[in-house]
């Protein structure tokens, strides 16, 4: 049995939604244990959070710099193997770069950085150090997304022609950031979230999913970006026409003012022979519509799925798997890849795939390009990185 990987966490203290999700996901397969953390910019809150999580006093740190420097000095048998960064966007780059510079692998929330230039710097550092970086684009962890990707890449749908991806939410239909909603407050603050609101928060998910499933990259776009709710500082609604480098065209919609919607991420991909449809709120189902035969419905957990889809299924067919399990699949694949690395082995990158630093660079480039296009009077903007 391999040694458990020791995880340090930056951010995710008391009251933080996403930190708890990451900890549950990381612990699900028994491959990872939380060993240390700097859970808040407040040293007092960090200590309180660490104690609540049962960490020893000497592994709870007042800030991430102290954590990384102290952990580096510990014996190899005790120090953390990697750090999980679950802070708001503006606080991603510095701890990620410091971790890489000190020999620690990184798991990081999306979007990867605050600016595209920071993303490029991280990519350069990952290449220089040879360390692993996992970007938690959650939806890439769902088994039926893996199945969709497999079917497209095997050519079962023929050449891909059209890609439609939409992500409507309704939670920001009102000015919630002025009403004590902490999540809304930082996500709509340009100093913390960056230059994009809805497009940075959920548009990046939609763009990544389209590229991940199809293998085609966005090559140009024509965007309409809006701020619907008066008084909001960042976009809360937008859409874009897309062109892809493999010849497909498509449409991307991301809005957080679709009142009544929850997390209704939906992607449809059409090829020469048929099309597929996957909806995040019904994640165990993948629909395939054929041109010359009846519709097929694929379900998670069934033996007819591809090897990579089955690798990411956790329960017998008919048992719901969702958001935390998808997160856990990313952590598991990252952990198995890292364990292989530590043993001097080469991991199976097809089976153990997870979004990486290059996905992070493309995500930041998507934000830059779509905001630029939305502000431009020019019809089409070439996608640049």
Per-residue pLDDT tens over the stretch 148-165: 999 999 999 999 999 999
Please provide residue 47's backbone torsions phi and psi, each rounded to the nearest 5 degrees: -65, -45
In the prediction, which pLDDT does 2 show?
65
For residue 54, give every residue at least 6 positions away whose Cβ sits within 8 Å of its Cβ, in sequence order, or none: none
Q: Does one domain contain both 311 and 373?
A: yes
Question: For residue 287, is it within any domain?
Answer: yes
pLDDT digits (tens, 9 = 90+) for 290-315: 999 999 999 999 999 999 999 999 99
Q: Cα separation of 341 and 105, whole Å? A: 11
Among the listed residues 312, 311, 284, the one whose alpha carbon sits nearest the alpha carbon of residue 298 = 284
DSSP code of 267?
Answer: E
For residue 283, give every residue at least 6 positions away whose Cβ sits within 8 Å of its Cβ, in sequence order, or none: 142, 144, 300, 320, 321, 322, 326
Q: Cα separation of 14 and 47, whole Å? A: 10
Please report which confidence band the pLDDT of residue 231 belongs to, taking 50, 70 and 90 as the band edges. very high
Please report which confidence band the pLDDT of residue 3 belongs to, taking 50, 70 and 90 as the band edges. confident
Question: For residue 344, is it within any domain?
Answer: no
Helices (H), 11-57: 17-27, 43-52
pLDDT of residue 1 exceeding 50, the answer is: no
Instruction: Give the tokens for residue 52.
Output: 């609540």
Question: For residue 368, is it within any domain?
Answer: yes
Cα–chain center distance at 187: 16
- The total number of structural domains that make up the chain: 2
Q: Does one domain contain both 222 and 287?
A: yes
Q: Does one domain contain both 122 and 12?
A: yes
Q: Cα separation of 209 and 145, whole Å? A: 8
pLDDT digits (tens, 9 = 90+) for 176-224: 999 999 999 999 999 999 999 999 999 999 999 999 999 999 999 999 9
Q: Identify the domain containing residue 94 by its residue range.
A: 5-131
pLDDT digits (tens, 9 = 90+) for 19-65: 999 999 999 999 999 999 999 999 999 999 999 999 999 999 999 99
Q: Does one domain contain both 193 and 302?
A: yes
Question: For residue 310, is it within any domain?
Answer: yes
For residue 98, give every residue at least 6 positions away whose Cβ sits within 8 Å of its Cβ, in sequence order, or none: 64, 65, 68
Q: Cα separation of 74 and 71, whole Å? A: 5
* Other beta carbons within 10 Å of 229: 17
Residue reference for tokens 């020893």: 56
Domain boundary among 131, 160, 191: 131
Q: What is the pTM of this model?
A: 0.96
Q: Does one domain contain both 43 and 179?
A: no
Question: For residue 137, is it within any domain?
Answer: no
Question: For residue 195, is it within any domain?
Answer: yes
In the prediction, which pLDDT does 192 show?
96
Instruction: Give the tokens for residue 113.
Output: 């950085």
CATH number at residue 247: 3.30.360.10
N- to C-terminal Cα distance for the chain? 42
Domain boundary among 74, 107, 131: 131
């Amino acid at each position: 049995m391999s040694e458990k990987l020791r995880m340090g966490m930056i951010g995710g203290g008391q009251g933080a939604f996403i930190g708890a999700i990451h900890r549950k996901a990381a612990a699900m397969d028994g491959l990872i244990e939380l060993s240390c953390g700097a859970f808040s910019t407040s040293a007092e809150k960090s200590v309180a959070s660490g104690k609540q999580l049962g960490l020893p006093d000497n592994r709870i740190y007042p800030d991430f710099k102290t954590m990384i420097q102290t952990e580096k000095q510990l014996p190899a048998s005790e120090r953390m193997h990697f750090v999980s960064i679950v802070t708001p966007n503006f606080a991603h780059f510095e701890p990620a770069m410091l971790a890489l510079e000190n020999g620690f692998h990184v798991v990081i929330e999306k979007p990867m950085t605050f600016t595209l230039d920071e993303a490029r710097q991280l990519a350069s550092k990952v290449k220089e150090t040879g360390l692993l970086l996992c970007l938690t684009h959650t939806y890439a962890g769902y088994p039926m997304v893996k199945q969709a990707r497999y079917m497209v890449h095997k050519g079962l749908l023929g050449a891909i022609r059209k890609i439609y991806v939409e992500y409507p939410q309704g939670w920001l239909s009102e000015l919630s950031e002025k009403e004590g909603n902490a999540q809304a407050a930082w996500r709509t603050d340009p100093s913390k979230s960056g230059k994009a609101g809805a497009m940075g928060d959920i548009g990046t998910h939609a763009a990544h999913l389209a590229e991940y499933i199809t293998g085609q990259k966005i090559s140009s776009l024509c965007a309409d970006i809006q701020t619907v709710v008066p008084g909001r500082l960042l976009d809360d609604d937008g859409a874009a026409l897309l062109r892809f480098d493999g010849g497909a065209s498509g449409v991307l919609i991301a809005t957080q003012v679709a009142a009544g919607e929850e997390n209704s991420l939906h992607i449809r991909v059409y090829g020469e022979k048929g099309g597929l449809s996957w909806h995040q709120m019904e994640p165990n189902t993948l629909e395939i519509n054929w041109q010359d035969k009846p519709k097929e419905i694929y379900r998670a957990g069934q033996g007819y799925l591809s090897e990579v889809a089955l690798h990411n299924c956790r329960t017998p067919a008919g048992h719901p798997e969702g958001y935390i399990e998808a997160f856990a699949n990313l952590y598991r694949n990252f952990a198995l890849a890292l364990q292989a690395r530590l043993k001097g082995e080469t991991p199976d990158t097809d089976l153990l795939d997870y979004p990486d630093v290059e996905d992070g660079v493309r995500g930041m480039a998507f934000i830059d390009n779509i905001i630029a296009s939305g502000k431009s009077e020019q019809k089409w903007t070439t996608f640049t990185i």
